[in-house]
A = this chain, B = another copy of it.
């Protein structure tokens, strides 16, 4: 039904004429037309209003030419669904009502998940309409550990020291929180899939700041639970930024593909996971700050090192806000020109 199904065929392990390409945060901050909408509407209006969600999600398909769309949203909606106030402060980023005491963790509320996410179905349906079956739509959520980072710290952080202190000092309370986040996330992904998302990705943006031992205890089991809950319905992509040491265990979850950071070489990933695993990534997003010819050369080298198969071309993390559209286009067009 979907005209350009290159991304889906790749995720199903088929051999393809070229690797598909999309990139994390492709719908957003580096696009001038997005910045116009950002000036006019609040962050959560842009997420929840079907017309805005459609416009923003479809924008990179028309303007940059990627092979997949990703729903415009934010990982912090799960914190909101649990009853916490989340504000997006310009220049500063998200500020959250925290939950750290036993009473605050007990009060995290799973009863309103469906009520809270009632905006999602019409928004996703509007996006699907806007896509006119041109490319598949990716839904997404954050990993439970990454959500805990924000819920405990209350804002972004270089080291999420408070979040780590929390899991070290009160591990059982942390696990109660992680269980609740996991359940809300599974429900939210089910809603996304019911409304038409063709693939889902779990972003463990702060996975790589944990030591391996802590990662295996506080992040991996919850990612695995989510993967197992939805993987029979749609392909699941796991992206654990910087958690190179967990590749073998992430691969064993049954996910369809693994996102790689730019510090994990394709050769290393292949050695650990074998020839069949589908990898997504992994150009350093800062590369797109360079001139288009430098971008094209670096992208080509990256694609070649993956070998052109079992690979979804992407960045190793979200596109930087200062990226120029020409450089993003050079990245996408290089992938589309494969084989060179």
Looking at A12-20, A128-136, A155-163, A186-194, the stretch in contact with chain B turns out to be A155-163
Contact A284 B165 (CB under 8 A): no
Contact of A165 among B242, B264, B286 (CB under 8 A): B286
Q: By the criterion CB–CB under 8 Å, are A294 and B168 in contact?
A: yes
Give complex CA distance A214, B282 in Å: 14
The reply on A44 being an interface residue by CB < 8 A is no
Whether the Cβ atoms of B212 and A286 lie closer than 8 Å is: no
Contact partners of A214 in chain B: CB under 8 A: 284
Interface positions of A from 295 to 334, Cβ below 8 Å from B: 298, 301, 316, 320, 322
> A43: CB under 8 A from chain B?
no
A322 to B164, CA, bound (A): 13
Flag whether A289 is at the interface (Cβ < 8 A).
yes
Given contacts A212-B265, A263-B212, A284-B214, contact A289 B164 (CB under 8 A): yes
Residue numbers in B under 8 Å from A243 (CB-CB):
263
A205 interfacial contact with B, CB 8 Å: no
Task: Give the docked Cα–Cα distance between A301 and B244 (Å).
Answer: 22
Interface residues of A in 130-173 (CB under 8 A from B): 158-162, 164-165, 168-169
Contact among B158, B165, B212, B301 for A158, CB-based, below 8 A: B158
Partner pick for A290 among B159, B165, B284, CB 8 A cutoff: B165
Q: How many copies of this chain sit in the oligomeric assembly?
A: 2
Residues of B within 8 A of A116 (CB): none
Q: Which of B159, B301, B316 contacts A320 (CB 8 A)?
A: B159
For the complex, give the distance between the alpha carbons of A228 and B313 in Å. 40
CB distance from A209 to the nearest CB of B (A): 8
Q: B244–A286 contact, CB under 8 A?
A: no
Q: In the bound complex, do residue B160 and residue A294 qualify as a contact, i.e. CB atoms below 8 Å apart?
A: no
Contact string against B for A residues 260-279, beta-carbon threshold 8 Å, 1 for contact and 0 otherwise: 00111100100000000000
Known: A165-B289, A169-B294, A245-B265. A284 touches B211 (CB 8 A): yes
**Provided the pairs A244-B244, A245-B268, A294-B168 are in contact, do residues A159 and B263 lie with their beta carbons within 8 angstroms?**
no
- A287 contacts B by Cβ under 8 Å: yes
Contacts of A50 in B (CB 8 A): none
Complex Cα–Cα for A213 and B211 (A): 24
Known pairs A168-B290, A213-B265. 5 more at Cβ < 8 A?
A168-B294, A169-B290, A211-B265, A242-B242, A245-B263
Which residues of A line the B interface, CB within 8 A? 158-162, 164-165, 168-169, 208-214, 242-245, 262-265, 268, 284-287, 289-291, 294, 298, 301, 316, 320, 322
